[in-house]
Amino acid sequence: MTNQQDRLNDTFHALADPTRRAVLAKLTSGPATVSDLAQPFSMALPTFLQHLKVLEECGLVRSKKVGRVRTCQLKPKPLEEAQDWLGAQRTLWTKRLDQLDDYLRHLNATENRK
Amino acid sequence: MTAYPIDPKLDLILERNIDVPVELVWKAWTEPKHLMQWFTPAPWKTVDCEIDLRPGGIFRTVMRSPEGQDMNNIGCCLEVVHHRKLVFTDALLPGFRPRDDGFFTGVVLMEPAKGGSKYIACAIHKDEAGRKTHEEMGFHSGWGTALDQLVAYAKTM
């Protein structure tokens, strides 16, 4: 549970930055090299690499170096987890209220018998 | 029916009609011995509960996992309107003392309806993304859309 919440926090943190979102958006059209990804941004390369590091650490992006070229790829699993969270809350509340309704009917029947 | 702004990305509203008197619905939500019977989805169990039914009064449940691990959830009541409305949160401890890791406020509204009662349960959650972005980036909207697009894409992979 805590692990999952940490992962959610990391995912939301990674998404909370315009540069990182732009990188993710670009990667939705397929793998890209680090230099291609960095090109649209007017920031120093080390700063850009920091952004990539955040994305890699939360598992949204994987990179692989072949020769002198590092290529990045999108890994969508953490995003699905973020989306799934509200769905899980809904399931919990639906079950909870189903149990409440069962219990209320039981309580009502018991009180009517008195 | 609620006076609170609801964020569809973070909050849930569930509405039910049931053929029992509203007094009973109120009892099930506000008396520990009753709440313990239904509050935690099986196979988890509620093994302890304390409710002091006034603003700032304790609202505490202890949930036990199927493996026997207990989770203590402590918070307080915010608003109590007899037979109509209960608002509680885990973001504040009893006596309204702020707490760091709370993330939830529950609003329960009920009223008599034809043949029984209607009740509405709202789960209002902390805006984790918004909180972080406000702190770190001064950035407000946009991640939701980005998220939707990426998830849509993810499903095609």
Same domain, residue pair B103 and B33: yes
Q: Quick check: is B96 in a domain? A: yes
> CATH top-level class for A2-78?
mainly alpha
Query: How many A-B residue pairs are in contact by the CB < 8 A criterion?
Result: 108
The Cα diameter of chain B in Å comes to 52
Please indicate, yes or no, whether residues B135 and B115 belong to a single structural domain of this protein: no
Query: Looking at the structure, do residues B36 and B89 belong to the same domain, yes or no?
Result: yes
pLDDT tens figures, B80-123: 999 999 999 999 999 999 998 777 899 999 999 998 999 998 88
Q: For residue B6, is it within any domain?
A: no
What integer pLDDT is reported at residue B128 of this predicted model? 62
- B144 lies in the same domain as B86: no
B97 and B149: one domain? Answer: no
Determine the Cα–Cα distance for residues A38 and A70; give it in Å rounded to an integer.
12
Where are any strands of DSSP class E within B9-115?
12-18, 45-51, 58-64, 70-81, 85-89, 92-93, 97-98, 104-113
B1 lies in a domain?
Answer: no
Q: Provide, as residue numbers in chain A, all residues whose Cβ is less than 8 Å from the Cβ of B14.
A: 93-94, 97
The CATH code of the domain that includes B31 is 3.30.530.20
Say yes or no: B145 and B110 in one domain: no
Answer whether A8 touches B (CB < 8 Å): yes
Distances (CA, A) of A113 to A106, A107, A109, B34, B42: 11, 10, 6, 18, 28
Count CB atoms within 10 A of the CB of residue A21. 21
Note the ipTM here: 0.71
Tokens of A7: 């992962």
Q: Which of B24, B34, B147 sits opposite A83 (nearest CB)?
A: B147
Spell out the domain ranges in chain A. 2-78
Does residue B3 lie in a domain region?
no
pLDDT in tens, chain A (114 residues): 456 667 777 887 888 888 998 898 888 878 999 999 999 999 999 999 999 999 999 888 999 999 999 999 988 777 776 666 677 778 888 889 999 999 999 999 988 876
Residues B62 and B102 in one domain: yes
Judge: A24–B28 Cβ closer than 8 Å, yes or no.
no
* Each residue's pLDDT expressed in tens, for chain B with a length of 157 residues: 456 777 776 778 888 888 889 999 999 999 999 999 888 877 788 999 999 999 999 999 998 888 888 888 999 999 999 999 999 999 999 999 999 877 789 999 999 999 899 999 888 888 664 343 333 322 223 333 344 444 444 444 3
Same domain, B65 and B115: yes
For residue B19, being part of any structural domain is answered with: yes
Same domain for B33 and B87, yes or no, is yes
> Could you say which DSSP state residue B96 is in?
G
What is the per-residue pLDDT for B56?
Answer: 98
What contacts B134, CB < 8 A, 6 or more positions away?
Answer: B140
Token look-up 């506000």 returns: B30
Structural domain including B93 reads 12-126
d(CA A32, CA A84): 28
What SS3 class is residue B4?
coil
- The first and second tokens of residue B147, run together, are 């998220």
Tell me, yes or no, whether B47 and B23 share the same domain.
yes
| CA contacts within 13 A on the Cβ side of B28 | 29
Q: Distance between CA atoms of B104 and A103, rounded to whole angstroms?
A: 24
- Distance to chain B for A62, nearest Cα, Å: 15
A12: exposed, middle or buried (Cβ count in 10 Å: 0-12, 13-18, 19+):
buried
The answer to whether the CB of A38 falls within 8 A of the CB of B154 is: no
